[in-house]
């Protein structure tokens, strides 16, 4: 991770137009047109609190969901071959502060992938941080040994420089778009449990969403992880559905759900309406995984 004292200069960077100005999102994922998924993770101290009234830290639930996604993604990209096909580039970016309150923002992969902004599914397949063997119920009264993999370990300390994190994602997405101008646009999934400590994050989110490939604007999803066991608000379509100003901020930071995501959400039983945003408030461990699945619907279109 890098210690960033000032915001990046984006004044001379090309932008793809106003955020959410057009919908397309039709490009299928292929080796000539890979996809890009960026996980932006709040790593502040409050992520040590239990998720949804449980004793399990939010940071641990998030790490488990990300590692599970990466494992599933690499398996889906194998296509019966010995190595995955390069269908995706993936980033995990963390943000927190040091003891003096200075922002620390940057890549969160560890081991051989330390310091990498983006890693291909091939590199992810080749370089897990470690392998974990677990005994699980086989459904017939016994147990079986299941192999799982870890790429990202949780971190939790300091404050919440959310604005810096979003601008960092802007830089990554902008560089990736320059190399893949006709691909499905990058997907940024942001996980947080509190308010920004470094200013208003809305302009940073809008700037990120303004980037675009020829197939549409960058998609930004926001997932609020709650420490309380309270009803969640999933994919709201109106500000009137939201309880407070914090929720309104996340709503305005989030992209409209493309039709592909709307269809996936409805297939999973969510009552999503036209105009729904890629936002979840008061997420628990299950909802967290569902958001990732819906936000990354495009991985079903591999060819």
* Cα separation of the two ends of the chain: 34
Please give the backbone phi and psi of residue 234, each rounded to the nearest 5 degrees, phi first.
-115, 125
Calpha distance 77→75 (Å, rounded): 5
Alpha helices in the chain (DSSP H): 58-76, 121-126, 162-179, 202-210, 245-253, 259-267, 285-295
pLDDT over 50 at 170, yes or no: yes
The average pLDDT across 178-206 equals 96
Calpha distance 48→26 (Å, rounded): 39
Higher model confidence: residue 138 or residue 273? 273
Calpha distance 261→295 (Å, rounded): 6
173 band by pLDDT with thresholds 50, 70 and 90: very high
The helix/strand/coil state of 224 is: strand
Calpha distance 196→227 (Å, rounded): 17
Calpha distance 138→199 (Å, rounded): 50
Give the class (CATH, top level) of 29-301. Answer: alpha beta
Mean pLDDT of the chain: 89
90 band by pLDDT with thresholds 50, 70 and 90: very high
pLDDT over 70 at 7, yes or no: no
The average pLDDT across 9-31 equals 62
Residue 82, both tokens: 């010995």
pLDDT at position 240, please?
Answer: 85
Least confidently predicted of 16-30, 94-108, 214-228? 16-30
Higher model confidence: residue 80 or residue 44? 44
The average pLDDT across 170-197 equals 96
> pLDDT, tens digit, for every residue of 227-275?
888 888 899 998 888 888 999 999 999 999 999 899 999 998 888 988 9
Report the DSSP beta bridge partners of residue 277.
256
The average pLDDT across 41-55 equals 95
The average pLDDT across 134-158 equals 82
Q: Rounded to the nearest 10 degrees, how much is the dihedral formed by the CA atoms of 245, 246, 249, 250?
A: -140
Closest CA to 90 of 10, 189, 221: 189
Name the DSSP class of 57.
B
pLDDT at position 266, please?
Answer: 92
Closest CA to 256 of 283, 295, 287, 226: 295
Least confidently predicted of 40-44, 135-139, 237-241, 248-252? 135-139
């Amino acid at each position: 991770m890098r210690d960033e004292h000032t915001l990046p200069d984006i004044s001379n960077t090309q932008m793809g137009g106003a955020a959410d100005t057009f919908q397309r999102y039709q490009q299928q994922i292929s080796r000539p047109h890979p996809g890009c998924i960026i996980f932006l993770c709040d790593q502040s101290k409050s992520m040590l609190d239990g998720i949804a009234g449980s004793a399990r830290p939010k940071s641990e639930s998030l790490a488990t969901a990300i590692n599970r996604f990466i494992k599933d993604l690499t398996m889906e990209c194998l296509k019966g071959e010995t190595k995955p096909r390069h269908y995706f580039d993936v980033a995990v970016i963390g943000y927190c502060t040091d003891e003096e309150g200075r922002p620390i923002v940057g890549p969160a992969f560890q081991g051989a992938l330390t310091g990498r902004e983006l890693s291909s599914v091939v590199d992810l397949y080749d370089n897990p941080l470690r392998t974990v063997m677990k005994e699980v119920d086989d459904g017939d009264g016994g147990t079986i040994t299941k192999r799982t993999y870890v790429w990202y370990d949780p971190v939790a300390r300091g404050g919440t420089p959310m604005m810096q994190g979003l601008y960092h994602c802007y830089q990554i997405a902008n560089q990736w778009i320059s190399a893949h101008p006709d691909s499905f646009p990058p997907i940024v999934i942001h996980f947080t449990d509190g308010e920004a400590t470094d200013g208003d994050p809305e302009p940073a989110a809008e700037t990120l969403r303004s980037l675009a490939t020829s197939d549409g604007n960058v998609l930004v999803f926001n997932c609020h992880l709650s420490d309380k066991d309270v009803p969640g608000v999933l994919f709201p379509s109106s500000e009137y559905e939201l309880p407070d100003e914090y929720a309104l901020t996340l709503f305005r930071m989030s992209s409209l759900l493309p039709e592909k995501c709307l269809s996936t959400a409805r297939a999973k039983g969510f009552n999503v309406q036209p105009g729904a945003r890629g936002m979840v408030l008061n997420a628990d461990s299950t909802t967290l995984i569902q958001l990732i699945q819906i936000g990354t619907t495009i991985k079903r279109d591999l060819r």
